[in-house]
Amino acid sequence: MEVQQVKQRFGIIGNSSLLNRALEVAIQVAPTDISVLVTGESGTGKEIIPQVIHQLSSRKHGEYIAVNCGAIPEGTIDSELFGHEKGSFTGASGSRKGYFEVADGGTIFLDEVAELPMQTQVRLLRVLETGEFIRVGSSKVIKTNVRVVAATNENMQSAITNSKFREDLFYRLSTVPIPLPALRNRQDDIHLLFRKFSSDFADKYRMPGIKLTEASVQLLNSYSWPGNIRQLKNMVEQISVIQTKREIDVVLLQEYLPPEKDNSPARIGETKDSINERELMYKFLFDMKKDLTDLKKLVVEILSKDESKSLSSDQTNLVNRFYDDVNEPKPTPTRFLPPSKSDESVFVHPKQSENNDSYEVHEEVEESLSLEDTERELIKKALTKHKGKRKYAASELGISERTLYRKIKEYNLND
């Protein structure tokens, strides 16, 4: 069966190459009895892969049992999986078959397999290797023919290192590993999924479906989606039910998107450490600029102590270099007056006149060193440079589009 046929049959939405590869592997291993381990973040839809494998295998007419290993208490999970005999523990009023006995000839899906207690892991390893198990409170060996597909969102190598999971069981379960991509790595599929969920909820609640503006689509694609497909689906359902507007703009969409973590807006290949380094560099540059301005004022004050003296050529070059550093226009200073009580540097220029040796005063106002003003100007320049295209402006500034939208609104730069 082709990947496209599988998508249609199981209602799988998306054209991501990573998703297609996962489905290709599932189709290839389905006819065999090989154990499969599906990995991926929570909410990526790992439960669909075992269903595909079961339905495309020769076991499709047998039992399919999905077990959430993290939802069963440690004291009863052995009984649930392998069964128990009457009187084997308090409350065992009769014998009971476990899932491995009921699913004989079928498939068992062990979701959150990393949550299994160590004792249960030993029992599971024996089933995988020999097809045998013993009920709780019994000594009779029971045979079973079950296909095991497991899934986890845990880092299994870390779990093994921390002695939370048996290494031999891991290799036995992951004969064929199938990783599922996170939603943020399937950007072309995000809007497709949004439209599918919107249509589904419109039918369910008998109301018009919601739509996104172009800017909202960009925001949707740039968000990190820590909860993956499950988070997207829940958000679409909330908006469909709560909002009366059917066209969702950026401002409205942001109300339903939780703030991203510090490392979420990082560009590809950029780590949290590199972000901190960039912030430190900006702070250093601002501090250096302030130090240069303070030093310039100090030089002016020293040179202006004696009003009767004109500046030497070395002194003039020195002052000009300060002006070069802070990107201000160069005057041609010949004499300085003492600084006024306000924080302004005062230069006196000779006024060209044959009979009047007067002076023309030019005030140089120290430019703002406010981080907020600097940030506003940088955003304006980036938007102007990229002709209002916020995606490229955000990339130029090294921030996420969502952060840029918020800053534009905060500084009232929409016009």
Run of H or E residues at 177: strand 176-179
Tens of each residue's pLDDT in the chain, 415 residues: 789 999 999 999 999 999 999 999 999 999 999 999 999 999 999 999 999 999 999 999 999 999 999 999 988 999 999 999 988 888 788 899 999 999 999 999 999 999 999 999 999 999 999 999 999 999 999 999 999 999 999 999 999 999 999 999 999 999 999 999 999 999 999 999 999 999 999 999 999 999 999 999 999 999 999 999 999 999 999 999 999 999 999 999 999 999 876 544 444 444 444 445 666 666 667 677 767 777 766 666 665 555 445 555 666 665 566 555 545 555 544 444 444 444 444 444 444 444 444 444 444 445 555 677 788 888 888 888 888 888 888 888 888 888 888 888 888 887 5
- Whether residue 270 lies inside any domain: the answer is no
Question: Do both 113 and 192 map to the same domain?
Answer: no
Question: Do both 125 and 170 map to the same domain?
Answer: yes
- Whether residue 268 lies inside any domain: the answer is no
Structure tokens at 204: 């369910």
- Whether residue 145 lies inside any domain: the answer is yes
User: What's CA 83's distance to the chain center, in Å?
Assistant: 42
Question: Do both 338 and 349 map to the same domain?
Answer: yes
In the listed set 181, 201, 232, which residue is the last one of a domain according to the structure?
181
Question: Do both 70 and 209 map to the same domain?
Answer: no
Number of domains comprising the chain: 4
Question: Do both 17 and 122 map to the same domain?
Answer: yes
Question: Do both 49 and 97 map to the same domain?
Answer: yes
- Whether residue 264 lies inside any domain: the answer is no
Question: Do both 165 and 201 map to the same domain?
Answer: no
User: What's CA 123's distance to the chain center, in Å?
Assistant: 38
Rounded Cα gap, residues 172 and 36, in angstroms? 9
The pTM of this model reads: 0.62
Question: Do both 155 and 28 map to the same domain?
Answer: yes
> What is the residue range of 400's domain?
371-410
Question: Do both 163 and 57 map to the same domain?
Answer: yes
- Whether residue 31 lies inside any domain: the answer is yes
Give tens-digit pLDDT for 115-136. Answer: 999 999 999 999 999 999 999 9
Residues 138 and 88 sit within 8 Å (Cβ to Cβ):
yes
In the listed set 147, 181, 215, which residue is the last one of a domain according to the structure?
181
In one letter, which amino acid is 101? E
In the listed set 162, 181, 200, which residue is the last one of a domain according to the structure?
181
